[in-house]
């Protein structure tokens, strides 16, 4: 049960952010931050199918995390889900075609190690 | 500049939202069930708690700002940068709650800061479309 929940948290989160990035990049960079314009832009964004798909994926991850912390310690849940960092960086590199330099890899790895240490 | 402001909102909203949520969930009590469906139902029931509800509202702000940020920034840039929340929680628990922070935890915090400095020095966007 515990590992099933960890898997749900990690894959739901990775898929959710992957879809969200794909959808938001299709709309182009948001430049107008006035409330009316922003509301319209976000409303339109939710009608993008990738953005729409990202919501159930992130919700699944969120509820699975709530379930996870009710059956396991937070000090297990946080480092276990920190494994998602590596997976998401790989997805960003190979699916989103972001250029992940050595410097960025090193930084992401340090952050992941730091998260594990913090919750031990 | 807009990247930094959005990152700040994302980090703050995430931390505040999670604190409200866990405070509320402790009032609701532990969820012990075996099926995902039951788990989802219990989560929905928990929404009746005002702290849980406020937490969810703040997390919606987090989600929207995160979406705005992703309209121009790399996912591989945003992910490590938003872990500033862990630093915030450590500092707050040490400073405000006067908790005794273990050496290992300071070490972890230092690693996160170092990682963020490294990632912060890379370009915000590397894909052509944005």
Asked if A35 has any chain B CB less than 8 Å from its own CB, the reply is no
* Confidence band of A16 (pLDDT split at 50, 70, 90): very high
Over range A28-46, report the average pLDDT. Answer: 92
**Which CA distances in Å does A55 have to A19, A52, B6?**
9, 6, 20
Partner-chain contact B111 A21, CB within 8 Å: no
Opening angle at CA B37, ends B32 and B41, nearest 5: 70
Residue B130 confidence (pLDDT)? 44
Residues 6+ apart with CB under 8 A from A8: A60, A61, A64, B36
Let me know: does B50 contact B42? Beta carbons within 8 Å: no
Over range A82-86, report the average pLDDT. Answer: 82
**Which CA distances in Å does B33 have to A1, A68, A84, B30, B71?**
10, 11, 25, 10, 39
Predicted TM-score (pTM) of the model is 0.85
User: CB-CB: which of A29, A64, A117 is closest to B111?
Assistant: A117
Distance from CA of B64 to the nearest CA of A (A): 8
Residue B98 confidence (pLDDT)? 79
* Confidence band of B79 (pLDDT split at 50, 70, 90): very high
Token representation of residue B101: 């922070």
Residue numbers of B between 95 and 114 with CB closer than 8 Å to A:
104-105, 107-114
Asked if A85 has any chain B CB less than 8 Å from its own CB, the reply is yes
On the CB side of A40, CA atoms within 13 Å amount to: 6
Higher-confidence residue of A80 and B54: namely: B54
Spatial separation of the C-alpha atoms in residues A25 and A79, rounded to whole Å: 30
Q: What percent of chain A has pLDDT over 90?
A: 67
Q: What percent of chain B has pLDDT over 90?
A: 50
Over range A13-28, report the average pLDDT. Answer: 94
| pLDDT tens digits along A106-115 | 999 999 999 9
Task: Find the helix or strand (DSSP H, E) in which B45 lies.
Answer: helix B36-46
* Confidence band of A29 (pLDDT split at 50, 70, 90): very high
- Per the prediction, chain B carries an average pLDDT of 87
Let me know: does A88 contact A14? Beta carbons within 8 Å: yes
| pLDDT tens digits along B28-58 | 776 666 677 776 777 777 888 899 899 999 9
B79: nearest Cα among B87, B70, B88, B71: B70
Over range B112-128, report the average pLDDT. Answer: 92
């Amino acid at each position: 049960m515990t590992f099933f929940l960890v898997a749900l948290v990690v894959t739901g989160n990775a898929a959710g952010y992957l879809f969200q990035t794909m959808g938001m990049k299709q709309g182009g960079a948001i430049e107008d931050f006035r409330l009316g314009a922003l509301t319209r832009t976000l409303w339109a964004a939710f009608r993008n199918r990738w953005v729409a798909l990202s919501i159930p994926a992130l919700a699944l991850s969120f509820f699975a995390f709530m379930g996870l912390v009710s059956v396991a310690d937070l000090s297990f849940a946080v480092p276990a889900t920190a494994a998602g960092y590596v997976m998401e960086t790989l997805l960003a590199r190979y699916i989103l075609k972001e250029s992940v330099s050595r410097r960025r890899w090193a930084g992401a790895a340090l952050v992941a190690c730091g998260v594990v240490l913090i919750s031990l | 500049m807009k990247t930094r402001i959005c990152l700040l909102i994302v980090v703050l909203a995430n931390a505040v939202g999670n604190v409200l949520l866990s405070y509320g969930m402790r009032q609701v009590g532990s969820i012990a069930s075996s099926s995902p469906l039951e788990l989802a139902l219990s989560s929905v029931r928990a929404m009746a708690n005002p702290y849980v509800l406020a937490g969810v509202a703040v997390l919606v702000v987090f989600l929207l700002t995160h979406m705005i940020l992703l309209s121009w920034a790399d996912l591989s840039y945003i992910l490590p940068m938003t872990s500033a929340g862990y630093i915030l929680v450590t500092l707050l628990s040490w400073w405000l709650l006067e908790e005794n922070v273990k050496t290992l935890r300071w070490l972890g915090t230092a690693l996160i800061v170092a990682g963020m400095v490294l990632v912060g020095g890379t370009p915000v966007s590397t894909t052509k479309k944005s």
